[in-house]
Structure 1
Amino acid sequence: MSLEVGEHLGEGERYRIERLLGTGGMGAVYLARDAKFGEEVALKVAAAVGGGEAVIRQRFQREAKIGYRLGQQTGFVRAFDWGRHGHLLYLVMDLVRGARALALDEGSRAERLGRLADAARLVERAHAAGVIHRDLKPANFLEDEQGAVHLSDFGLAKLGGIEELAGQETMPQLTTSHIGMGTPRFMPPEQFEDAKRVDERVDVYALGVMLYRALTNEYPFDGRPLEILRAQQEVLGGKAPPPRPRDVDADLPEELDALCARALVLEADQRLDSASELLEGLRPHLPRGKRGKGAGRARRKKKAAPSHPVPLDLPPGIVRSEEPGRYRCERDGSELVWVPPGELRVGSTAPEANEDESPRFRAKLEHGFFCGLRPVTWGQYRRFCRDMGWAIPASQLQLASGETWSASEEHPVFHVTWQEAFHYCQWAGLRLPTEAEWEFAARGSDERTYPWGEDEPSAEHGNWEGHPEHGLHPTPAGAFLAGASPWGCLDMAGNVWEWVYDWYERYSRWIKRDPTGPTEGAFKVIRGGAWSTPPLHCRTTTRRMFAPLLRAPNLGFRVAR
C-alpha cells in the first residue's frame, strides 16, 4: 500500500508525496506538500480492505474532529483533512519536524521524568477539554527537533460532544461493549472489559505505565494481551503482589515508588484521579526549570469546594420555607433541602461492606436536586389516600411483648409498596430519588461511613435495633438532629428503610452521569436501614433489594424533585 514520490492525492491533487517518514501497525506516514497553502504536512495512509474500511474511515474522521479541536492549542497534533485514494484511506496532519517517540530510556532520571511531565501536562489539558485519549503511550507523544512534546493520534479518543453528534456512525464499530481497545501494555482492566465506558483514569494508568518505564526501563505487565490480562487478574485476586518500581531498582526514592504504585492501581476507584495529581507528585523530582508553579494543586482546591447556588427560579410548586436553607412542596407540605451537583464514588470496599456494594463506580450528578428533609409521614400519606380515594394501609405493629403499637401522624409511613410511593410522588409533583442521589444526599463527596461522619453510631444519631430507648418501632420522622447528613437530611440511617427509584442490579465499575439504574428488573433498591436492623446495616452504602409489590413494617420512602 505504498505511495510513490510525486504522487498526488486529494481533491484537485492537493497533496504531493515527498518521501516516506515511517511505517506502523495501521499503515505508513509520508511527508507531503499541501499545494493549497504551500506547507509541508504529514499524511497517514491505511489500506481500505473489506469490513475494516468503515472502522478505519471512522477512526480517521474521529481523529480529525478531535485533533482539530485540540489543535488550536500548542502541543497537540492537528488532523484537518481525510479522504480516499484508490484502495487507501488517508489522514492529513500537522508535521512535527524531527518527530520521534517520547524517550523514556535516555538521559538522567530527572531528564526522563521531565519529558514525562511534559506529556502529563498535555494529558491534563486534554482532559480539561473533555478528551480522554485511551491510547497513551510513548509512540503517541512526539518530540520535535527542539525537544518539545506533542500529543498525537486521537483515533481512539473519547469526547462526549462528538459522540453525540456522530455516535451512530462511530462508536458501535470502534468501541463495541466488552471489546477492549488500545495498546495492552498501557491498558487497565476496565479498558480491556469495556473501553466505551471508561473515564480519565485510563489515561492516568497509562501515564503510570510510562512512569514505571522511565524509572525501571521495564513494563509493569508485559507479554501478549491475554497474558497481560491474566497477570492483572492475579493481582486483583490477591494471588500476586502489584508491581512496584523498587522491586526492580531498590535505590529509587520511596516517594516515586509510591506515586507510581498509586497510578497503577488496577481498581479504578482507588487509582490517582487525575494527571494533575501525578504531576504534583512528580514536581519535586523534576529538573528545576520544569517544576512549574503548582497550578494543578490550585485547580484541585478550587474543585473541592465549588459554589452551587440554589436556582433563582424554583420549580413549580416549590417555595422557600421560613427556615433559612429549607424549601417546601406546596402540595404535600414536604420540607426539602437543596443538594447541589456533585460527584461521588458509589459503594464501599470496607471490610464490613456487603458484596453488592462493589465494585465501586464514580457517579457524576450534573444537576442539583431537592431532597426530602425527612421521610414522608403518616399524616402526609393519609391526606394523599383520602384525596385519591385509596385505602389507608395498616399503621399498627404487633410488638414482641404482644402489645399493639400505633403510629402517629408524625411517624414515617410504612406498609407502602414501591408503586404506592411512586404514585404519591406523582400526586405531589415530586419523584423518588435515584439510588445515586440518595447516597449523595446521605454522605456527600467525602465517602463517610454514616451520614454524620465516621463516629460510631450512638443513641443520638438514629433509631435502630438495640437502641437503648427505641429500636422496637419507628420514631417520629426527623427526631435525631445529630444524625444529619452533609446537606441536612435526617433519618438517612435507621428508622425506616426507604424506596428509591432504581431497579436492583449489581454494580459495574464504569463512570455514570446521573444514573437511574437498569430499565427493568424483579426487585427495587431500598436504602438506609431501619429500627429493626443493626447499626452496621445503616451505613450510607448499604443496599437491599425488595419486591416492588410487597409491603413491610419497616419500609417507607422520602421524596425528591
Structure 2
Amino acid sequence: MASTAVENAASLTAEADVEIPAGTFAMGDPFGEGYDADGESPVHEVRISAFRISATTVTNEAFAGFVDATGHRTESELYGTSAVFHLAVKARPEDILNRVEAVPWWLNVRGADWAHPAGPLSHWTDIPDHPVTHVSYNDALAYCAWAGRRLPTEAEWEYAARGGLAGRRYPWGNELLKGTPGEAAHNCNIWQGEFPVRNDLDDGYLTTAPARSYNPNGYGLYQTSGNVWEWCSDWFLPKYYRTCLARGTVEDPPGPTIGRGRVMRGGSYLCHDSYCNRYRLAARSSNTPDSAGANLGFRTVAL
C-alpha cells in the first residue's frame, strides 16, 4: 500500500521534471551586488552531479492532492494564523490581528493558510495552478516524504536556476527587462511601482502568478527569479562560501551542518531593487523551519 501511494504521488510531479546535466559552475555573486550579511561571495567553483528537478514550484492543486491523501495539517493551520501582504488580504476586519512590527506591509491574518492564501475569504481552488504558499520548511519535507522526493540543495538550486548561463544576473541574462524602452517585456513576477504602497502591475500580477508563467530558462525551469521564494535543504550560514573556496572545486556540497535557519532562494513577487534585490540568481535568504507566509513555496528533486 505504501509503495502504491508513493507511486501515485510521484505521478503528480514526474511528468514535470527536467533533466539537469552534470557540470561545474561558478556559484555566487560575480557583480558585487549582494548584501554582506547574506554571504553571496566569494564566487567559488562547484561540481554538480546530474539530477532531475521539477520544472515548477509545487502548485496548489498538487499540494491539495497531498493533503487529501495524508490529512496533513500545515504549521500555519496549526498556529491558526499566517502572514499576508497588506494589499492582498481577503478577510473580515476581526481576522486581521496585527501588523508585523519590523515589516508592516505584512499582516498577521487569522485563517490564512495554504488553502486560504489571502485569508479566510479566499480559496486555493481559485488559483489551482499557482504555487502553493504558507508552507514551512517542515511542511515541504512532509510533502517530499509523501511524494518520494526531496528538496534541492542550495548548490543544485542555483546550478539549475542558471539554466546553463554562466555568470549571469538573471536566468535570461543581465538586463531585467528585454526589448526597447517603452516596449520592454517582463521576464519575472516582481514588484512594479513604489514599494510597498503602490504596485503598477506592469508584469500583470499583484501577488503570485501561475507556476508556468513567463519563459522557462535554458534547462526548462520556470520562475527561478521572482514569484515565490523556494525552500532549499541547506542550513543558512553566511560564511559557508568562504569555507568552500578554501577547498577548491567542491562536489555536490550539502551545505553547512549548522545555521540560523534554512536557505530560501529566488525572491518573490514582493522583491524590488529599492527594498529586496534578491531576485538575482546568486541572492540568498533564510527563515526558520517553522516559518511560512504568502510568498514562500518550494520545488522538489527526484530521488
Scaled by the length of structure 2, the TM-score of the pair is: 0.70
Using the TM superposition, give the Cα deviation of residue 454 of structure 1 relative to its aligned residue in structure 2, in angstroms.
1.8
Given that residues 342 and 445 in structure 1 are in contact (C-alpha distance below 8 angstroms), is that contact kept between their aligned partners in structure 2?
A: no
Question: Which residue identity does 2:279 align to in structure 1?
Answer: C
- Corresponding position: 1:474 with 2:157: no
Answer yes or no: is 1:335 the counterpart of 2:16.
yes
Distance 1:331 1:531 in 2: 25
Q: Which runs of 5+ in 1 are unaligned?
A: 1-315, 319-327
Q: Deviations over 1:339-392 (max 9, x none)?
A: 000001110141322221101211111x20111101000111111112111236
> Are 1:455 and 2:175 counterparts?
yes
One-letter amino acid of the structure 1 residue matched with residue 271 of structure 2:
T
Aligned position for 1:512: 250
**Equivalent residues of 2:235, 2:259 under 8 A apart:** yes
| 1:13-59 Cα deviation digits (max 9, x unpaired) | xxxxxxxxxxxxxxxxxxxxxxxxxxxxxxxxxxxxxxxxxxxxxxx
State yes or no: 1:400 paired with 2:87: yes
Select the residue among 395, 413, 433 that pairs with 2:132. 413
Q: Count residues with an aligned counterpart.
A: 234
* Matched residue type, 2:16: E
SS in 1 for 2:19: strand
CA deviation string 1:50-94 (max 9, x = no partner):
xxxxxxxxxxxxxxxxxxxxxxxxxxxxxxxxxxxxxxxxxxxxx
> Pairwise mapping of residues 134-145 of structure 1 onto structure 2 (< 5 A)?
none
Q: Which amino acid counterpart does residue 254 of structure 2 have in structure 1?
A: T
Map 1:96-175; keep pairs closer than 5 Å: none
SS of the residue aligned with 1:518?
coil
1:486 aligned onto 2:218: yes
- Structure 1 counterpart SS, 2:17: strand
Aligned ranges 1:523-542 → 2 under 5 Å: 523-534=261-272, 536-542=277-283
Residue aligned with 2:150, SS = coil
- Provide the rounded CA distance (Å) in 2 between the counterparts of 1:441 and 1:376: 16
Say if 1:343 and 1:445, in contact at 8 Å, map to a contact too.
no
The answer as to whether partners of 2:14 and 2:54 remain within 8 angstroms in 1 is no
TM-score by length of 1: 0.39
Q: Is the 8 A contact 2:30 2:167 kept in 1?
A: no
Question: What are the superposed Cα offsets for residues 228-254 of structure 1, whole Å, 9 maximum, x if unpaired?
Answer: xxxxxxxxxxxxxxxxxxxxxxxxxxx
Deviation of 1:492 after TM superposition, in Å, equals 0.4
C-alpha distance in structure 2 between counterparts of 1:500 and 1:402, whole Å = 27
Could you tell me whether the CA contact under 8 Å between 1:331 and 1:429 is conserved in 2?
Answer: no
Quick one: which amino acid aligns to residue 148 of structure 2? G
Query: Take 1:519 and 1:532, find their aligned partners in 2: how far apart are those partners?
Result: 30
Q: Please tell me whether residue 347 in structure 1 is matched to residue 28 in structure 2.
A: yes
Partner of 1:383 in structure 2?
65
- Tell me whether 1:434 sits opposite 2:121 in the alignment: no
Distance 1:357 1:487, change over 3 A: same
Unaligned stretches of 5+ residues in structure 2: 1-5, 92-117, 179-184, 193-200
Larger Rg: 1
Aligned ranges for residues 7-46 of structure 1 at < 5 Å?
none
CA contact (8 A) 1:363 1:514 kept: yes
| CA distance in 1 between partners of 2:135 and 2:15 (Å) | 18
In 2, Cα distance between the equivalents of 1:337 and 1:372? 6
For the residue of structure 2 that corresponds to 1:552, the secondary structure is: coil
- In the aligned structure 2, how far is the partner of 1:412 from the partner of 1:427? 18
SS at match of 2:286: strand
Please show how residues 261-272 of structure 1 align to structure 2 within 5 Å: none
In structure 2, distance between residues paired with 1:331 and 1:411: 15
Q: 1:487 to 1:389 in 2, by over 3 A?
A: same
Code of the residue aligned with 2:43 in structure 1: it is R
**SS of 1:505's equivalent?**
coil
Tell me the alpha carbon deviations over residues 104-159 of structure 1, each in whole angstroms, 9 at most, x when there is no partner.
xxxxxxxxxxxxxxxxxxxxxxxxxxxxxxxxxxxxxxxxxxxxxxxxxxxxxxxx
- 3-state secondary structure, aligned to 2:301: coil
SS at match of 2:258: coil
Shift of the 445–480 alpha-carbon distance from structure 1 to 2, 3 Å rule, reads closer
| CA shift in 2, pair 1:504/1:553, >3 Å | same
Letter in 2 for 1:371: I
Counterpart-to-counterpart distance in 2, 1:396 and 1:532:
13
User: Which amino acid in 1 is paired with 2:235?
Assistant: W
Aligned to 1:447, the other structure's residue is in SS state: coil
SS state at 1:441 partner: helix
2:195 is aligned to none
For the residues of structure 2 that align with 1:457 and 1:503, how far apart are their CA atoms?
32
Partner of 2:104: none
Structure of greater relative contact order (alpha carbons < 8 Å, 6+ residues apart): 2
Contact conserved, 1:471 with 1:532, CA < 8 A, in 2? no
Q: Distance in 2 between matches of 1:363 and 1:390?
A: 36
Structure 1 residue 470, shift from structure 2 partner? 3.5
d(CA) in 1 for partners of 2:258, 2:44: 20
The answer to whether the 8 Å contact 2:59/2:129 transfers is yes
Kindly tell me: are residues 402 and 340 of structure 1, through their superposed partners in 2, closer, same or farther at Cα, counting changes over 3 Å?
closer
Paired with 2:15 and 2:254, the residues of 1 have a C-alpha distance of 23
| Matched residue type, 2:176 | E
Q: Distance in 1 between matches of 2:130 and 2:149?
A: 20
Change (3 A) 1:334 1:377: farther
Cα drift, residue 556 of structure 1: 0.3
Task: Report the 3-state secondary structure (helix = DSSP H, G, I; strand = E; otherwise coil) of the residue aligned with 1:330.
Answer: helix
Say whether 1:369 aligns with 2:51: yes
Mapped partners of 2:286, 2:85: distance in 1: 24
Alignment match, 1:360? 43
Which of 274, 277, 287 aligns to 1:546? It is: 287
Deviations 1:483-502 (A, max 9, x none): x2220100100000000011
In structure 2, C-alpha distance between the alignment counterparts of 1:496 and 1:401, rounded to whole Å: 15
Identity of aligned residues (%): 33
User: Greater helix percent: which structure?
Assistant: 1
Post-superposition shift, 1:503? 0.5
